[in-house]
């Protein structure tokens, strides 16, 4: 059974209620062997498409991953992008802003990391933290030192508008934006936290702060719903991906990325007559020497 990424894509202006979006669905594979085969096929196709993206040097692809802690963002980046040429891909993780970053507008630190033409950029968290963590924890907003006259009840709506306009700007400049919300359940998150405690090789991943954030689960879900509802567009779609089963999550994300790149109708640059003459001259020169 083939995965259709459109099944997980949010339509513009859709009234998103995350409780109605599954965190777990029936797998599209019968065994681990079949899963690995399908993932390998996606990875191989993605590698080919990345070569086309790099060679054509017209578009860039920006992948954004947002989720609650332990939803599997790192694993997706590791496994789905395993076949991508590192020269054509950059990954950035955005955590608590530095003092320098707080002295700039909230888009500044991510704007500096946008992918160049021909490349894939990956944001592990992003500017969307500004309508998630900052909304759930208003004290963070105070640290941004925004003029008090601008801190009105409309600030979140204004940020949605700004992000919408920013992503439209990116689209108009050839940067394709593809956004994923990994929809993990609170129960599954708990099991993954416990695994980090039980398995010594995962201890380093555990953070007491992550557990602390669980008490704000409902607030985060509301913030995610508002965020997705207000920023899902045709040019920069959101995919709400079931994340309780990591293998399935990876296949959906891989299929969506492949689908997005195939939609660009990429092709290797055509060589003009002048360039072809140069190639022929180079061949004659090479063939005439030992």
* pLDDT, block means (10 residues), the chain with 290 residues: 91 94 91 95 96 96 97 95 92 93 95 97 98 95 93 96 98 98 97 90 82 94 98 97 97 97 93 82 78
pLDDT at residue 289, as a whole number: 63
Q: Where are the alpha helices (DSSP H) in 177-266?
A: 186-198, 208-213, 217-231, 246-262
User: Token pair for residue 93?
Assistant: 């993780």
pLDDT at residue 246, as a whole number: 96
Q: Which residues pair with 91 in a beta bridge?
A: 122
Measured CA distances, 197 to 34, 193, 208, 232 (Å):
31, 7, 11, 36
Superfamily of domain 5-287: P-loop containing nucleotide triphosphate hydrolases (3.40.50.300)
User: Token pair for residue 246?
Assistant: 């990591």
| Nearest in space to 192 (alpha carbons), one of 204, 206, 213, 180 | 206
DSSP state of 115: P
pLDDT at residue 151, as a whole number: 93
Spatial separation of the C-alpha atoms in residues 45 and 251, rounded to whole Å: 13
Helix (H) or strand (E) holding 32: helix 32-56
Q: What does the CA dihedral 272, 273, 279, 284 come to, rounded to 10 degrees?
A: 170
The C-alpha angle with vertex 126 and arms to 105 and 3, in degrees rounded to 5, equals 150
pLDDT at residue 205, as a whole number: 80
pLDDT at residue 290, as a whole number: 57
Spatial separation of the C-alpha atoms in residues 171 and 236, rounded to whole Å: 8
Q: Name residue, tokens 């993206």.
A: 53
Residue ranges covered by each domain of the chain: 5-287
The C-alpha angle with vertex 184 and arms to 111 and 15, in degrees rounded to 5, equals 70
Quick one: CA dihedral 27, 31, 36, 41, positive or negative? negative
DSSP state of 22: -
Q: Name residue, tokens 């700039």.
A: 104
| Nearest in space to 76 (alpha carbons), one of 22, 122, 18 | 122
Measured CA distances, 72 to 65, 193, 235 (Å):
10, 12, 25
């Amino acid at each position: 059974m083939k995965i259709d990424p459109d099944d997980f894509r949010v339509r513009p202006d859709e009234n998103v209620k995350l409780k109605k979006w599954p965190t777990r669905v029936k797998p599209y594979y019968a065994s681990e062997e079949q899963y690995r085969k399908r993932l390998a096929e996606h990875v191989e196709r993605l590698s080919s498409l990345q070569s086309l993206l790099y060679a054509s040097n017209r578009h860039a692809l920006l992948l954004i991953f947002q989720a609650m802690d332990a939803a599997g963002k790192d694993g997706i980046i590791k496994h789905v992008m395993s076949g991508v040429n590192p020269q054509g891909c950059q990954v950035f993780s955005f955590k608590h802003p530095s003092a320098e970053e707080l002295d700039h507008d909230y888009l500044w630190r991510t704007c500096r990391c946008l992918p160049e033409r021909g490349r894939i950029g990956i944001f592990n968290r992003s500017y969307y933290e500004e309508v998630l963590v900052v909304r759930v924890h208003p004290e963070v907003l105070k640290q941004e030192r925004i003029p008090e006259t601008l801190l009105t009840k409309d600030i979140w709506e204004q940020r949605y508008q700004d992000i919408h306009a920013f992503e439209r700007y990116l689209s108009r400049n050839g940067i394709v934006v593809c956004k994923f919300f990994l929809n993990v359940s609170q129960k599954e998150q708990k099991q993954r936290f416990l695994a980090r405690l039980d398995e010594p090789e995962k201890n380093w991943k555990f953070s007491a702060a992550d557990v602390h954030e669980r008490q704000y689960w409902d607030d985060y879900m509301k913030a995610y719903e508002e965020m997705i509802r207000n920023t899902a567009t045709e040019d920069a779609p959101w995919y709400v991906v079931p994340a309780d089963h990591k293998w399935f999550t990876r296949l959906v994300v891989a299929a969506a990325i492949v689908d997005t790149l195939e939609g660009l109708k990429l092709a290797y640059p055509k060589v003009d007559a002048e360039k072809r003459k140069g190639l022929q001259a180079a061949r004659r020169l090479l063939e005439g020497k030992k």
